[in-house]
Amino acid sequence: MTTDTVLHLDRITKRFGALLANDAISFDVKEGEIAALLGENGAGKTTLMNILFGHYVADDGSISVFGKTLAAGEPRAAIQAGIGMVHQHFTLADNLTVLDNIMLGTERLWRFSSARSQARRRLTRLAQDFGLAIEPDKTVAELSVGERQRVEILKVLYREARILILDEPTAVLTPQESQSLFATLKKLTNKGLSIIFISHKLNEVLSVSDRIFVLRAGKLVAERPTRATTRQELAELMVGRPIAEPRIEPQTRGDIHIEVASVSTPDGLDHADLILHGGEILGLAGVSGNGQTALANLLSGLTHPASGRLSIFGEDAQGWTPERVIHQRIARIPEDRHAEGLIADMSVTENVIAELYRGPRFSRRGFLDWEAADNFARDIIIGFDVKCPSPQARVRLLSGGNMQKLILGRTLSLEPRFILACQPARGLDIGAVSYVHERLLAARKAGASVLLISDDLDEILALSDRISVIYRGRISAPQERNSVTIKELGLMMAGHGFDVPGDAHAA
Amino acid sequence: MRLEPREQPSLFVTLLYPALAIFGVLVFAGFLVRLSGANPFSVFTLVFKGAAGSQFALFETLTRATPLIFTGLAAAVAFRAKLWNIGGEAQLYMGAVATIVFGTGLLPLPAPLLIPILLIVSAVAGALTLLGPAFLKVRFGVDEVVTTLLLNFIIILFVSLLLEGPLKDPMGLGWPQTKKIIAEAQLPRLILGKRLHFGFILALIAAFAVWIINTRLALGYEMKAVGFNPRAARFAGMKVDRIMLKTALLSGGLAGLAGLSEVAGLKGNLTLDLSPGFGYAGIVVAMLALLHPLGVVAAAIFVAGIFVGADAMSRTAGVPSYIAQVMVASALLAMVTALMFTRYRLRWK
């Protein structure tokens, strides 16, 4: 520990039942540096930060801030010690102004006058000092996502934080917004603040941080100066074994499988166009909430076009129900596996036949053949490497990655012609992600068409033959992956090139 | 203090907490008995004797359990699909009305023909009674707890109207009651001279049939899936609304059979005191049975036994038979709590 150490964690340990979430983790953060905490889901990043911020009490170990020991389990003590947390999900009141949001909770309760003008002066100065342009009198509802994040950061700075924790801050940002966030973070560190940047995205961590701490399964497995490490090394440290990057071999496109022509739906598509061929993966990029879910619902048979034309495999598919869609060998990997994909309180066997039980394979005159169903479940468990005690185990007990493998097994084992993959890698660790990607590439090789809807540009760029962007319910004309840059995609995700009436961003 | 789920409850835990629950109920009820000035041990002995201490008592308990099995199954079927059917009482009465309409001489048929017809019409009457609320639920999102509960009062007033009007027995000396059903419509007694009737066998068959539906039929699988996660069921291609309506028909039909069983097996005619709340008690039975159809049979016999036993006890010991209601209610609460503890453990930090 040197004199410029501002935060020191000493052998922090936390157990949840049998799970060792944090195993004697020690690290320190120096003044003016950005320390990245890298790890897969479930590696213990969030638990560690919750201990630091006083939401949890560690079973063992201690924390010192600026040389003083921090009282455990008291968020207020953490704030007073100068720790500020910018959460992944914003904690702002939409109907209040920026100024009110920032002042909220900083004033004494039993006072009649409010020190608004004083607060406004302080806020304006802070914003100037750190180059965070903001309009204090706008309500939060009027702000873009990037601006809201700026407010969150100002809120923490206003409380005189010297150490900022940012939990997956780029999850909701376009690449441009991320770049501007990184520039802001550099400015903050130049002023002597320290930042802990939590992420599982390797590229971001490499471009923004000074030092990288890698967590795996509750343990701190490595500490690397950012300059002296590589993407490949970090990935292997995170997963604990070598990772192969997906290889895409060029192949010719087949027939048109999906044709969406100027379709509008009540839940968010606005004259959307899309053409998808067999044997190709089309990546659909976009900031979440721009109609991705509406497109997925449409192609799943859950909603129907209010106007426009939808044809699948050359047939008119306007009125197709989910049952019909399944019957046409369309595999759907839903965005939310808990809400839509699986029934958590039913067994593995009961879940794998959910889409197929009507067919002659599993039922005769209304009676189900559970033996055939169990065999199918066993085939999937083996074929797709699902870790579960038995076909009778409740799905609730499986990990996120194994749930996803179960969904893949259920739909991909039927040799689908079209795969609708919505956020197929969300919340999975790198090992499971590469497994999912291999399966999608294998299906492409077999001539299936794949629509890959994802928030993660890296994933889209890694897998897609062609890429489109969805913005406010409209879909851009696809571009070859090799001819498009992250920068262009980022601009399109912010609305450039879309002709949307009444939209200031449109160019 | 918070609850943490247990990964895999052990057999010991699974048995311990329900046993503790039963013990707790006995202690609680014993305390109340003591308050009323009697000896808890002798009172419990009397309750047990009254419920199962003699052949007569045992048959009486099974007779009382018969309608509870039907209404318990009705609730179990509906609740499994998260269709909250609180209207068992209304469906029971409509089943009874159908039995009277077709069983008092309208169809002059021999018993082997007439009884199956009565089974069908009473089940259909009960089913249609629940179909309305179920339709309002799937079509307009109207809360079925409200509609089925309120329909109970509407139907009972409707039956009251029938008893004063079209169905009133002209020879009934002005009492609000219907004519007796004809002999061919009567369910046979199982043992000569005892009140236990063929309805009990029908109830056992119904429980077995529901068990087969739940475990073997696609419909049972669909009802379970819709109950646990309707969104995922819809995503998987199930027609959730249609499954809900089928559930309603099955549930209402079972409750309707309770009406047939009571009229054609026991009472012979329809009066307004046909059911002392069998429809509501069925909900308790279904919950105690954890919605398992075979468990419903056991739970119905347990609940019926407490009521019959307490009646007998109150005649001898002078403790009010309300103790039965206290015991059944606290048994339900204790059992629900016990089941929670088999699945979760308490942590103090």
Residues A181, A291, single domain; the answer is no
Q: What pLDDT does B301 receive? A: 95
Give the residue numbers in A contacting B (CB under 8 Å), as ranges.
Answer: 17, 57, 300-302, 321-323, 325-326, 332, 334, 339-346, 350, 354-355, 357-358, 363, 366-368, 370, 397
Residues A221, A304, single domain; the answer is no
Which chain B residues are closer than 8 Å to A321 by Cβ? 237, 239
Say which CATH class B37-319 falls into: mainly alpha
CA distance B34 to B38: 5
Residue in A282, A410, A254 with CA at minimum distance from that of residue A343 = A410
Instruction: Judge whether A213 and A222 are in contact, CB under 8 Å.
Output: yes
Residues A363, A307, single domain; the answer is no
Q: Kindly report the nearest CA distance between residue A450 and chain B, in angstroms.
A: 19
* HSE-CB of A179 using CA atoms within 13 angstroms: 7
Residues A324, A350, single domain; the answer is no
Q: List, for residues A130-168, the tens digit of each pLDDT value.
A: 878 888 888 888 887 778 888 888 898 888 889 999 988
**For chain A, which residues score pLDDT lower than 70?**
1-3, 109, 111-114, 243-246, 427, 429, 500-507
Q: What pLDDT does B97 receive? A: 96
**For chain B, which residues score pLDDT lower than 70?**
1-9, 347-349
Strand A466-471 with A479-480, pairing: antiparallel
Q: Write the CB contacts of A53 (distance below 8 Å, at least 6 apart in sequence).
A: A75, A78, A83, A85, A165
Which residue range is the domain that position A285 belongs to?
A: 256-329+416-507
Nearest to A343 among B216, B218, B232 (CB): B232
Instruction: Judge whether A157 and A116 are in contact, CB under 8 Å.
Output: no
Where does A8-53 have alpha helices with state H? 45-52
Instruction: Judge whether A367 and A378 are in contact, CB under 8 Å.
Output: no
Residue of B nearest to A326 (CA): B237
Q: What pLDDT does B329 receive? A: 82
| Count of structural domains, chain A | 3
Judge whether A104 lies within some domain: yes
Report the complex ipTM.
Answer: 0.85
Q: Kindly report the nearest CA distance between residue A12 and chain B, in angstroms.
A: 18
- The dihedrals phi and psi of A368, each to the nearest 5 degrees, come to -90, 145
Q: What pLDDT does A2 receive? A: 60
Residues A128, A53, single domain; the answer is yes
Residue A259 CB neighbour total at 10 angstroms: 17
CA distance B257 to B73: 11
Q: Write the CB contacts of B215 (distance below 8 Å, at least 6 apart in sequence).
A: none
Judge whether A334 lies within some domain: no
CATH classification of the domain holding A190: 3.40.50.300
Query: Residue B24 belongs to what H/E stretch?
Result: helix B11-35
Residues A25, A137, single domain; the answer is yes
Which chain B residues are closer than 8 Å to A293 by Cβ? none
Q: Which residues pair with A312 in a beta bridge?
A: A258, A315
Which chain B residues are closer than 8 Å to A355 by Cβ? 236-237
Residues A324, A274, single domain; the answer is yes
Residues A25, A65, single domain; the answer is yes
Q: Write the CB contacts of B106 (distance below 8 Å, at least 6 apart in sequence).
A: none
Residues A34, A134, single domain; the answer is yes
Which of A239, A266, A291 delimits the end of a domain? A239
Nearest to B231 among A326, A340, A397 (CB): A340
Q: List, for residues A206-260, the tens digit of each pLDDT value.
A: 989 999 999 888 889 989 999 999 888 888 888 787 766 667 778 888 889 999 9
Residues A232, A290, single domain; the answer is no
Where does A131-209 have alpha helices with state H? 145-158, 175-190, 202-208
Which of A360, A382, A414 delimits the end of a domain? A414
* HSE-CB of B103 using CA atoms within 13 angstroms: 36
Which of A204, A239, A274 delimits the end of a domain? A239
Is B225–A350 a contact, with Cβ atoms under 8 angstroms apart? yes
Is A367–B216 a contact, with Cβ atoms under 8 angstroms apart? yes
Q: How many angstroms separate the Cα of B183 from the Cα of each of B67, B114, B260?
A: 21, 10, 14
Residues A163, A287, single domain; the answer is no
Instruction: Judge whether B281 and B68 are in contact, CB under 8 Å.
Output: yes
CA distance B11 to A348: 22
Residues A164, A99, single domain; the answer is yes
Q: Kindly report the nearest CA distance between residue B5 and chain A, in angstroms.
A: 10
Judge whether A160 lies within some domain: yes
Is B225–A344 a contact, with Cβ atoms under 8 angstroms apart? no
Chain A and chain B share a number of CB contacts under 8 A equal to: 69
Kindly report the CA angle at A98 between A97 and A104, in degrees rounded to 5?
A: 85
Domain boundaries, chain B: 1-36+320-349, 37-319
